Amino acid sequence: MAGLRVIMSGVREKLEAVLNVALRVPSIMVLEMLYRWDVSSFFQQIQSRNNNNLLFQYKYLALNLHYVGYIISLVLLTLPRQHLVQLYLYVLTALLLYAGHQISRDFVRSEIAFGHDGPVYEEPLSLNRFTTALIGQLVVCTLCSFVMKTKQIWLFSAHLLPLLARFCMVPVEMLIIINRFAMIFTGLEVLYFLASNLLVPYKLAKLAYKELVQVVEVYGLLALGMSLWNQLVVPVLFMVFWLVLFALQIYSYFSTRDHPTSRERLLFLFLTSIAECCSTPYSLLGLMFTISFITLGVLTLCKFYLQGYGAFMNDNLMHRGMTEGITLLILAVQTGLIELQVVHRAFLLSIILFIVVASILQSMLEIADPIVLALGASRNKSLWKHFRAVSLCLFLLVFPAYMAYMISQFFQMDFWLLIIISSSVLTSLQVLGTLFIYILFMVEEFSKEPMENLDDVIYYVNGTYRLLEFLVALCVVAYGVAETILGEWTWMGSSIIFVHSYFNVWLRAQLGWKSFLLRRDAANKINSLPTATKEQLEEHNDICSICYQDMHSAVITPCSHFFHSACLKKWLYVQETCPFCHQQLKSQGQQVGATTVQGPGEQLPHNETRATQELVGQVDVPAGNDSVLALHSEDGLVEQKALNTDCSSLGNPGTGEHRCEQNGSQAGKIEFSHPAELCEDEDQQLSNTVEFQ
């Protein structure tokens, strides 16, 4: 029982969501019609045809009604769902009453035409008409009482009077008068209902104003806008509106055509229908949201194809389709799309749609690129996953190139088409680089030894694509600036050039330069570090702590840690510290006199200590001593690091000094004095400079 209630609750929520969208679409349709209707041109056409100045006098009245229609449509659009449902129920009741009176009028006309004044049951045809009309009127009355949620069915039974009069054998000529009386009575009922609810719109407006003021005072205008956006479900609402408009346009075309349409004609019909459905700001917004949802569906299918159901765990905000929709809107506004004729609008719209398709392909590549590279680097053995990733990359390699070829064949080349072609070619080149890196990963997986310069190869491949992308963006900016200076200057065009210059040129240049500097600094640091000899590697006899692979070659950090040079270089791209002990890795000039960051009780591995001693030319320390690390300094002193020290209570209580004993395997105990507070913290590193004789 509880499960059934949950299911019914879910169905009810879905139904309410559908009604919330469907009941608002007519309001946008009315706004669309009002925007397309030019009142001045309409009255000028009437005056030129009829030469009637009286109609032209009603022009200003029609203009006022035009603005009133805008206001009413906007009010209905923003009306809460429960009030909107109630309003549609009232409208449905009025339509049912009108249908009931139409049934009565048709019955009266048929009876007058038949001319039978006797009882209806004596004539089969008359009885059939009477029965049909009676059933229809009873259905209308029942539906009206159900919609208005009242049991007073007589309130909706005025249209039954002609039937009742005919059953009582009233003369046929009197049926017309009775039918008119029934219509007048129903009209009076409607007027009484409207008069009794005359103040309802004022009360609703007053209540809505109070709520809006409270929301603005507490949460602000942004919260109010987000609340209205979610309540009206604006993206879905405009998408449904545009799809309805497009379906009506297609239906009107095919309903007036008797012969079949060729394939080329269908393509032209498709473009012109889309062009007809983006001639106003409302339909243009509808097209934008429709493109956004189509893009979202394509990208969702792409992620599902690559990762299955796991693709829906981590949603990327950049892959929700809004980028492509906003791109279409910006290009349409910049080029003045809605002001063009249908044929020119269809041609310009085809170019804009090509740009949107190129953006969708780029978004698909942004989804596929990390997945493909992760499969190559993670040594995943699933052939099906590899097949899906590689097949999608092959599609993204071939389709943009084919699209660029078709554009160059069927369109006359200009700058915008050149941008589309260059973007498509760049997408194919980036896919080619991704596949090349994927192949390198797979080759490294099946090879016995890792590739030393793999990271550099990857950097050069990605850097080449980024450089080409930067040059294309720079050309776009240069052309836009030239067109703005030499051509027609607009705020919209200048704003778009500024945004494009900042995000696609300046930020990309900064990112590329920063990446170059990081790699250069990392390479300099790696080159400044000494390379471990064969004897040091054999004595170290350990793996690289970054990649966990055996080391046949390595570099040694100032803190005496061994790493692969390629692994350490990748680490230095992220931060300039040792991956093992997090000590700052300084340049070669700063390494003289550098100390290791090591706490008391923390013992360096034997091979690392020995390697460091041999590296800097230190005092000869016995092979078994892992506690003493002595480094030469310029003044003949060495800095003694006390590792594994035992602080005793010996010392001078008056001076507050302690004496620490450090055990050596062959050198015996070394004692040195230091302040007592240094021993209070167990993590405090103990050091004292002493002179060896």
Q: Of 528, 509, 507, 506, which is closest to residue 517 (Cα–Cα)?
A: 509
Residue 432 and residue 166: Cα distance in Å, rounded?
A: 85
Q: Indicate which residue of 144, 278, 544, 567 is catalytic.
A: 544
Q: Could you give the strand order of the β-sheet that contains 657-664, starting from the edge strand earlier in sequence? A: 645-648, 657-664, 668-675
Q: At what angle do helices 281-307 and 25-36 cross, to 10 degrees?
A: 130
Distance in angstroms (rounded) separating the CA atoms of residues 591 and 587 = 6
DSSP 284-303: HHHHHHHHHHHHHHHHHHHH
The string of DSSP codes covering 159-220 is: GGHHHHHHHTT--HHHHHHHHHHHHHHHHHHHHHHHHHTTTHHHHHHHHHHHHHHHHHHHT-
Per DSSP, the three-state class of 533 is coil
Strand partners, 660: 647, 672
Question: What is the CB neighbour count within 10 angstroms for residue 612?
Answer: 21
Radius of gyration, alpha carbons of the chain: 42
CA distances from 533 to 109, 175, 626 (A): 114, 118, 21
For 627-641, b/e burial (b = at least 16 CB within 10 A) is bbbbbeeeeeebbbb
| CA-to-CA dists, residue 161 to 133, 166, 180, 190, 222, angstroms | 12, 9, 10, 18, 57
- Give the count of beta carbons closer than 10 Å to the beta carbon of residue 558: 24
Tokens of 364: 């698909």
Spatial CB neighbours of 596, under 8 Å, sequence gap ≥ 6: 558, 559, 560, 581, 583, 604, 612, 629, 641
Q: Does residue 272 contact residue 347 with C-beta atoms inside 8 Å?
A: no
DSSP 519: H
Q: What are the tokens at 247?
A: 């379906």
Give residues with Cβ within 8 angstroms of 26, minimum separation 6: 76
Q: Which amino acid is at 665?
A: S
Distance CA 351, CA 374 (A): 35
Give 664's strand partners: 668
Residue 141 annotated among the catalytic residues of the structure: no
Active site positions, annotated: 544
